[in-house]
Amino acid sequence: MTVPLPWQESLWRQIVVRRHAMPHAVLLSGPQGIGKQRFARQLVAGLLCHAPQDGHPCGECRPCHLHASGNHPDFLAVAPEKRSIVVDQIRELIEFTVLTRHFEGLKLVLISPAEALNRHAANSLLKVLEEPPAECIFILVSHAAGRLPATLRSRCQQFQLMVPATEMALVWMREQGCAEAEALPALEIAEGSPIRALEMLENDRVAQYQELLKDILGLIKGQGDPILVAREWQAIGGEWVVRWMLAAIARLGRHLLAGRRNEELELVPAMQKIGEALDLARMLTLYQLCLDTRRLQAAAITLNEPLLLEGLAIAWAEAGKLR
């Protein structure tokens, strides 16, 4: 039996106690890397199960076996086709909801990530939620609930999944076999999200992050060619690069605002040198540029990633020239 992650146990109890009076639509939101998808999948499995234990699936009944094999006829998972969830997928969802149930109980629809719904798909889903089918529950998972239409959010019971406290996250990561000396810096880079931090360690992303800081420092000092550096960033992946830049600038900003006196905000050498080279105003400008780039990456449009990364590399180099 899969149990909730330690930082989700309270919310799990809050939701499953309402098993027999669940709202027709639930929105689970929070940062990436904290286990929202795992939580949602466990919730679906428990709701489909005929003999749940504390909300968890028994793993023995026929619905449990069908769900585990990915063949439960009363469950539909909706995910993006390429970058977005399109209106044809919602039409298929509507067809699914009106079919006769195969088992006694509920029909479940899981939409993740919900912010991938394009405008037409969101409007079609809204019409369904305004007049929800009987005995059907919609579970939406979102990394950025603010990007969903307010009308869509208003039709859902909203639950916020939070980033765990650092100590709780470190304990969990140690239980996964991660040494604390590795876990803490990975957790900081991952903005407190332990699952993402573990993923970074498993894929050598921490070393790539450290190289990114060195690249940025070189650009600020005028020692790197922005075009060549941007090509190296392409090998890492644009989404990782922008995410790390945002995390690094946020950490530097907190360090500056704390007057460099907060021991909890101790910086690695490369980041410390970046902080010495840039003032808060330039950091805010760079942060806004990275934030705009991240929004473009999240949008359902085709991007010229090399050009975006070149623009970021040039911006770092230009910031260094303003010293």
Predicted confidence at residue 262, as pLDDT, reads 45
Predicted confidence at residue 16, as pLDDT, reads 84
pLDDT digits over 84-132, tens only?
999 999 999 999 998 888 888 889 999 999 999 999 999 999 999 999 8
Predicted confidence at residue 30, as pLDDT, reads 93
Q: Is the dihedral of CA 115, 120, 124, 126 positive or negative?
A: positive
107 forms beta bridges with 136
Q: Is pLDDT of 252 > 80?
A: yes
Per-position b or e across 64-95, b if 16+ CB within 10 A of its CB: bebbeeeebebbbebebeeebbbbebbeebee
The answer to whether 30 touches 164, Cβ cutoff 8 Å, is: no
Predicted confidence at residue 265, as pLDDT, reads 43
pLDDT digits over 42-91, tens only?
999 999 999 998 889 999 999 999 999 999 999 999 999 878 999 999 99
Predicted confidence at residue 322, as pLDDT, reads 62
The average confidence (pLDDT) of the chain is 88
Look up residue 161 and give its DSSP letter.
Answer: P
CATH of region 204-321:
1.20.272
- Collect all residues with Cβ–Cβ distance below 8 Å to 58 and sequence separation of at least 6: 49, 50, 51, 52, 64
Predicted confidence at residue 256, as pLDDT, reads 73
CA angle at 98 for the pair 96 and 100, rounded to the nearest 5°? 90
Residue 173 CA to residue 310 CA, distance in Å, equals: 35
Closest CA to 32 of 179, 200, 148, 173: 200
Mean local confidence (pLDDT), 163-181: 90
Mean local confidence (pLDDT), 3-26: 87
Evaluate the omega torsion of the peptide bond into residue 113 and state whether it is cis, within 30 degrees of 0: yes
Spans of all domains in the chain: 6-160, 204-321
Predicted confidence at residue 264, as pLDDT, reads 43
* Percent of the chain predicted with pLDDT > 90: 59
Closest CA to 224 of 316, 130, 297: 316
Residue 201 CA to residue 169 CA, distance in Å, equals: 14
Tokens 């690249």, located at residue: 215
Residue 310 CA to residue 209 CA, distance in Å, equals: 18
Instruction: Choose which CATH entry (3.30.950.10, 3.40.50.620, 3.10.310.30, 3.40.50.300) describes domain 6-160.
Output: 3.40.50.300
Residue 274 CA to residue 86 CA, distance in Å, equals: 42
pLDDT digits over 150-163, tens only?
999 999 999 999 99
Predicted confidence at residue 26, as pLDDT, reads 96
Residue 250: pLDDT band with limits 50, 70, 90: confident
75 SS3 class: strand
Residue 308 CA to residue 306 CA, distance in Å, equals: 5
Q: Is pLDDT of 316 > 50?
A: yes
Six token digits for residue 114: 């919900």
297 SS3 class: helix
* Percent of the chain predicted with pLDDT > 70: 94
Of residues 301 and 40, more confidence is placed in 40
pLDDT digits over 255-295, tens only?
777 654 444 444 567 888 888 888 888 899 999 999 999 88
The answer to whether 199 touches 33, Cβ cutoff 8 Å, is: yes
